[in-house]
Structure 1
Amino acid sequence: MFSDTHQTPGHILIVDDDGALRERIATYLQARGMRVSQLSRARDLRARLSQSEPDLVVLDTRLPDADGLALCGELRANRRFHALPIVLLSTRHGVEDRIVGLEMGADDYLAKPLATRELFMRIRAILRRARLPPPGLAVAHMPSVLRFGEWRLDTLARHLVDESGATVALSSAEYRLLRVLLDYPNRVLTRDQLLDLTQGREADLLDRSIDLLVSRVRQRLRDGVRQGRYIKTIRNEGYLFSATVVEATGPCASACCAAA
């Protein structure tokens, strides 16, 4: 990572072929203490990421040499970048367009023309969630492994480990949702509550982002579609994580997890 969380709010990489928009965003973010780099093409992004990784990428969905949505999916499929926060920018405003962006693994999706202040607030919220433990959980007592059923969640590496010891990568959004569910086991959480706890915002009338995220986490857990072993759909209410969650702390936790 480029940044030190104790010295700077973060290093943001903007990838958009609109130079004027890039500069406007960069100027706004830099004025608020963020370090910003700018690129205009997908090939430049790939080259930069091969050398070093920023704290967050702001990615246009229509680049001259690539489809930004496909590029987002490509990064999510790469184990090195599966947890890299990504905010998509698009000229498409429809609900379905937002859904597709979230399905590809984006942490957030903003339609153009955009308000730089809103983008800044969303970036700051994503970075804060990525760096801090859940509310009410002191860092000194933060468990390095959470165990449930045949799974272990490594909270340091932010991936799942199954019974055979195989790891399952999680995007940053998937990790946040699973972490919230594990913090509130056997309790019904509404979509609004999940959005607030994972993204710090309220749901729009047609917002299906949490439903899509739940579907993705179910896939990672190899769970059923509606009434799986772990994440259960409670009709007209929300979702319930049905499992006993056991915390493991200390230096041996990750080693035990890897050996499981």
Structure 2
Amino acid sequence: MVAHLHAAPPPPSSTPAGGRDALDLSGEAGGCVLLVGEAARPAVAEALLAEGFEPVRVEGMREALARLASSEALPRLVVIDAELPDGDGFSLCGLLRADAKAAHLPVLLVARHQEEFHRDLAAGVGADEYLVEPVDARDVAVLARLKAGRRGEEDVYDAHTGQLPLVHLVRALLSGVRSGRVILLEDTGSFTFRHGLVVDATFHGERGSLAFRRLLCFGAGGYTVTFGPELHRGTFSMDRPYLCEQVVPGLERFEALRVRGLPLAARLTVDFNRLARELPTLPEDVEQVVRLFDGRRTVRAMLLECRFPEALSYEAATRLFMLGVLVPAILVEERERARESAGPPRLFEPTSEPAPELMDEPGSDDAS
């Protein structure tokens, strides 16, 4: 039986803003991706083409080996069906690892059905990842982009959120069975993944699922992905379906607000007169958001301190700003400085006008 790579079509809502530019899989990350197996893979091929790669399909093991032997430039990635018409994907991966030329070539093995021994077998032949159908075409493109940033012979990869957003990386990592850790280089945060689950995360002093959600919202800059055993006890467990169904929609709302809403670096304070007028129309819980705007905190700092979900807090702050309850702190500071420069109020200073003359009392002339 031949295993086919059936790519699940990506839902429209998960397409990143900016399309291809959001992932920036072109340029240095471009190149050939070899797809080994009998079945046609239109969705995977289209996804790779859209991201700047050149997908090349071959039927089986012999053709794949012949193509690799005759090509001067190796492909960026090889995607191999677990079952091939003239062998199996595990054997082909083992042959690649035994060849000096292709020993460090990234290899993804894909099986129609998950088998318990497949994970150990894939690890034994040195596969970079083991996936089970249906495989999301976007995940293949993301893994191809990630593997392009390998550090020499180490199983460590460098990437940047500007080219490979963290949420896309996590979605792809959870489609496989590898373990490892992602560490931000320009921020304080990391998360650990193990056999298709996120099991731990830290971000700015927080730990657990809240830290993971905030890391996906605010984590930015360069990061490293290190594959290897992660044996320490986790603090939570999150699989790919939960990520896609429960977490990603909130992240998309958050990103939409960040694009067209309040700048995260803005410092806001409360107009209490306006708050008093609008208070009857506001939800009771809005006090949890209002009290954090003291003129010193930025919007980003407020979102990190508020216990509400980030998208909900961001929407509340945006609404309060539109109502005039929140105002830029710099405007209040400028008014205060203008008031101070004017000096104390001049309530008792004499005027420059002459004092009116006193009129004689009636009959004063007669009395004299």
Shift in alpha-carbon separation, 1:120–1:79, aligned structure 2, 3 A: same
Residue number among 28, 33, 54 corresponding to 1:35 in the alignment: 54
Q: TM-score, normalised by structure 2?
A: 0.37
Q: 1:102 to 1:92 in 2, by over 3 A?
A: farther
Render the CA deviation track for 1:187-215: whole Å, top value 9, x for unaligned: xxxxxxx70249x96113799x834xx9x
Q: For residues 165-184 of structure 1, what are the alpha-carbon distances to aligned partners after superposition, in whole Å with 9 as ceiling and x for unaligned? A: xxxxxxxxxx226xxxxxxx
Cα displacement (A) at 1:95: 4.3
Hey, what's the Cα distance between the residues in 2 that align with 1:124 and 1:8? 6
**Partner Cα distance (1:109, 1:120) in 2:** 15
- Per the alignment, in what secondary structure is the counterpart of residue 196 of structure 1? strand
* Structure 2 equivalent of residue 57 of structure 1: 78
User: Which residue among 178, 190, 194 is the counterpart of 1:203?
Assistant: 194
Contact 1:85 1:126 in 2 (8 A): yes
Q: CA deviation at 1:34?
A: 1.1
Instruction: Provide the C-alpha distance between the structure 1 equivalents of 2:126 and 2:113, rounded to a whole number of angstroms.
Output: 17
Deviation of 1:7 after TM superposition, in Å, equals 4.8
Secondary structure in 2 matching 1:195: strand
Whether the aligned pair in 1 keeps the contact of 2:76 and 2:147 (CA below 8 Å) is no
Look up the match of 1:23.
Answer: 42
The number of residue pairs the alignment matches comes to 152
Unaligned runs of 5+ in 1: 134-154, 159-174, 178-193, 215-234, 238-260
Deviations 1:8-31 (A, max 9, x none): 523211111112xx2221111101
Aligned to 2:35: 14
The SS at the match of 2:92 is helix
Structure 1, residues 94-132: CA drift from partner, whole Å, max 9, x if none? 34312211221100111012111222222222222x2xx
Residues 91 and 125 in structure 2, CA contact (< 8 A), matched pair in contact too = yes
Larger Rg: 2
CA spacing shift, 1:34–1:91, aligned 2, 3 Å = same
RMSD of equivalent CA atoms: 3.2
- In structure 2, the CA distance between the partners of 1:104 and 1:7, relative to structure 1 (3 Å rule), is closer
Q: What residue is the counterpart of 1:101 in the other structure? A: 122
| Structure 2: distance between partners of 1:13 and 1:106 | 15
Partner Cα distance (1:49, 1:91) in 2: 25
User: Does residue 47 of structure 1 match 2:47?
Assistant: no
Q: Taking CA–CA contacts closer than 8 Å with sequence separation of 6 or more, which of the two structures ends up with the larger relative contact order?
A: 1
Task: Give the 5 Å matches for 1:239-258.
Answer: none
Shift in alpha-carbon separation, 1:77–1:7, aligned structure 2, 3 A: closer
Give % identity: 28
Q: 1:95 to 1:196 in 2, by over 3 A?
A: farther
Q: Which residue number in structure 1 is paired with residue 306 of structure 2?
A: none
2:102 counterpart of 1:111: no
The 8 Å contact of residues 95 and 206 in structure 1, kept in 2 or not, is answered as no
Preserved CA contact (<8 Å) 1:62 1:68: yes
5+ residue gaps, structure 2, are 1-25, 157-178, 184-190, 199-226, 234-368
Judge conservation of contact 1:55–1:127 (CA < 8 Å) in 2.
yes
